Structure 1
Amino acid sequence: MVLRIRLARFGNKHQPFYNIVVAQARPSTHCAGHGRSGYYRESDETGVDAMKENQLNWTPLTRLSRSARGAKPLEVIGTYNPIPTARTDVPDANVAPRSYKDITLDKARAKYWLGVGAQASDPVWKLLNLARLVEPKPKTYNKA
């Protein structure tokens, strides 16, 4: 099972809000008990000989399974609000309030999931780099 640390979008239209989640990268397409991986049987009254003659009795399981994006996450390890909000905790009136993007992350759980082999998507990799949990990805240059 390949695990992925990715962003799950919430919020309203034009007001995005993301949960940083650990989810399965690809759902399993194995159909246990039917003898054929990735397929399910439409009807039980037809025998194996009829199945060999008529392949229409078997339908790919991928039409039944959910996509990885729609799957339920294993754990929510943080949130990310990309809309800048103004800071109000600055006591000095002469200093203009700086806006910031709100990132909350459970660093211990993020380290755990990275340690067991979860792969971070590119946007999450940048957020983990800001939290100093991973090194920045090396820049690749296209050779023309």
Structure 2
Amino acid sequence: MQTKKDPITVDAFHYDRVSPDVEPQQNIQVSLVTISEEDPYLQEADLSAGNIYQIVTPFQVAPEKSGFAVSGQISQVVQLLDFFGEPSEINQKDMMKLSRPLIEYIETLTYQVTAVALNRGVQLQFTAQANED
């Protein structure tokens, strides 16, 4: 699937020190949101090339025995070239490809913040899991 992508945006990123005994958590959601027709962004876009969506990725992560938790939301506007369908029509493999750069951004931000906050960078490595419908 060919795309035209805007830069990734960090909508929110929050770091907390927590007890090393806190319950581990890995909650990362990925959704493709249709941009409202009134959005000024669409006024300058070439919609004849394909639909434009925003990939929204809220997350809450507390690695096991790490002593920290991170949460927030990362997003990116993408145009799916020559695609005029609904988000639900995009297959799981393409969704994983579209969302992977955002997931890597979460991994990178977490590494950089923990390198400063804990004097050691913590490398997260998320792997995608298909929804079971």
Q: Which has the higher helix share?
A: 2
TM-score above 0.5, yes or no: no
